[in-house]
Amino acid sequence: MSQATLEIRRISGHAGSVPGAGLRREFEVCKLIDTTTCIGCKACEVACLEWNGLTFSETTFNNSYQTMPETQWNYWNLIKFNEHERDDGTLQLLMRKDQCMHCEEPGCLAACPADGAIVQYVNGIVDFQQDHCIGCGYCMTGCPFNIPKFSPTARKVFKCTLCVDRVTQGLEPACIKSCPTGCLHFGTKPEMKALAETRAAQLRQESGFAHAGVYDPAGIAGTHVIYVLHDATNPEAYGGLPNDPRIPWTVKLWKTPLKWIGNLAIVAGLVGVVGHYLRFGPKLPPEEEERP
Amino acid sequence: MSASAVLPDGRICRYSLRERVVHWIAGISYLYLLLTGLAFWSPWLFWLATLFGGGTVSRELHPWAGLVFVIAVGFMYGLWANQMHTTQTDREFWRALPHYVRNEDEEVPPADRFNGGQKVLFWGFFWCGIFLLLSGLILWFPPLIPWSLRYFRYAAVIIHPVAALLTIGLFIIHVYMGTALERGSCHSMVRGDVSAGWARKFHPAWYDRLMRAPH
């Protein structure tokens, strides 16, 4: 891994093509989270705060081990704790590390109007560039995972960067580095996908989790953070992991057909009034009588 | 001078000072909203934000300008709503629209103070203004809309541009007619007065009513 992984593939709010896109042969990175071996120690939460130098914030006690209800602008990595009652009446404590999923087709980037405020590198990392962010919060509407969060002090939006600064130096993200059980892995997308499938098969065949599987949702063309779940048929049980995440259809409607229909209509309106004037000319009032 | 009064020099006061002030507050705030809104609308127009201090400043001020615009439209409602009811003449105006478009104004039924087209402009801006306000309030404060109410955000991002596009259509026609097409209209909205000939030609029923009234 090198600086070359910072080749940009997509730019938000950008007129024209992406400079240099598709010139080089590149690989895609991926984080694998095996929820079945997570012990909920929150080392990844601390490592994230430490590496990124984030300010400390109040925790919220809500009758669970969970640090706070959801990720915050200065808290990008949060383990979600959920007590799940299985069909046989037994309880299962589900722990899922929640953070940006680094979608292959990012809804935040699609919704963003600011040139270059969100970029997607060819390695798959979706990164916010706060110096170009205008603080509109459209990314929060485009995201199907409730990840981008608005900072009331900076008036900009922040989220997990997948430690892009570490990855470009050949290091794994801080959360991966800190995990004591090895439930977090980092590598190329094909490698991680294969490892996840192997683990899911093991869970199905040897551990009695008949519905174990890999979460790499197709509605957004896959993600660069994937999960192994005990029950891949019910991701909602893991603290609201969407079953079929997609970019909201109103965002798609607004950004593609409506934009072109609207632009054509505006141009047609301008051409129409100019054409009308050339063809019919002004409506002139009768010559005014001489003023006394 | 109040609206619908005949002035000593024979010209007619069409818009009172209050009407003109409210109109231009709405007009100038709309122009700002239009240009900054277009910057957010398309990457190809994002440069417009540069003219107004950049994207961040535009995003901060756009909602405040929206409030000014909506308040001005509210005042317009108070000033004009009672003159904007659709009448039989307005229905005939729409049937005679091809004549109106071809500048055959003598073939168009005599309009009162506002013709059918002006009434559609008024109600168009009024209703689009309401939708822009409601969706705009949601877009103004996205962090205050919790995840469980995200469908309001999904609705707002489509309602806001659709309503804005409708007003752009009205705005193009309104500015064209008020400046280039109907000579004397722009002056009436700046200084308030029109010539008797202007009133007789474009708003004959209004003119007749004024001439019949004691003054």
Q: What is the pLDDT of residue A25?
A: 64
In a domain, B135, yes or no: yes
Cβ distance A150 to B44 less than 8 Å, yes or no, reads no
| Phi, psi at A30, each rounded to 5° | -160, 140
Q: Which residues of A touch B139 (CB under 8 A)?
A: 136-138
pLDDT at A159: 98
What's the domain count of chain B?
1
Q: How far apart are CA B24 and CA B163, in angstroms?
A: 21
- Specify whether the CB–CB gap between A5 and A167 falls below 8 A: yes
Number of domains in chain A: 1
Domain contains A138:
yes
Q: How many residues in chain A?
A: 292
A257 in a structural domain: no
CATH code of residue B110 = 1.20.950.20
Closest residue of A to B184, CA-based?
Answer: A285
Mean pLDDT by 10 residues, chain A (292 residues): 68 85 77 97 97 94 94 97 93 97 98 96 95 96 97 96 93 96 95 97 96 97 97 95 97 95 97 97 79 46
CA gap B49, B44 in Å, rounded: 11
Residue A267, in any domain of the structure: no
**Does a structural domain hold residue B159?**
yes
End-to-end CA distance of chain A: 87
Tell me whether residue B153 is in a domain: yes
CATH of the domain at A183: 3.30.70.20
Q: What is the pLDDT of residue B141?
A: 94
pLDDT value for A1: 42
Q: Determine whether the interchain pair A285/B105 forms a contact, defined as Cβ–Cβ distance below 8 Å.
A: no
What is the pLDDT, as a whole number, of residue A288? 60
> Domain range for residue A37?
3-247
pTM of the model: 0.92
Q: Count residue pairs from A and B with Cβ separation < 8 A.
A: 142
Domain, as residue range, for B46: 13-212
pLDDT tens figures, B23-73: 999 999 999 999 999 999 999 999 999 999 999 999 999 999 999 999 999
pLDDT at site A2 = 46
Q: Is residue B44 part of a domain?
A: yes
- Chain A residues touching residue B196 (CB < 8 angstroms): 289
Please write the tens of the pLDDT for every residue from B165-181. 999 999 999 999 999 99
pLDDT attached to residue A254:
96
Query: What ipTM was predicted for this assembly?
Result: 0.92
Do the beta carbons of residue B167 and residue B132 sit within 8 Å? Answer: yes
Task: Judge whether A269 lies within some domain.
Answer: no
**Position B8 in a domain:** no
DSSP letters of B38-105?
HHHH-GGGTHHHHHTT-HHHHHHHHHHHHHHHHHHHHHHHHHHGGG----HHHHHHHHTHHHHHTT-G
pLDDT score recorded for residue B1: 55
Residue B53 lies in a domain: yes
Torsion of CA A282, A283, A286, A290, to 10 degrees: -50
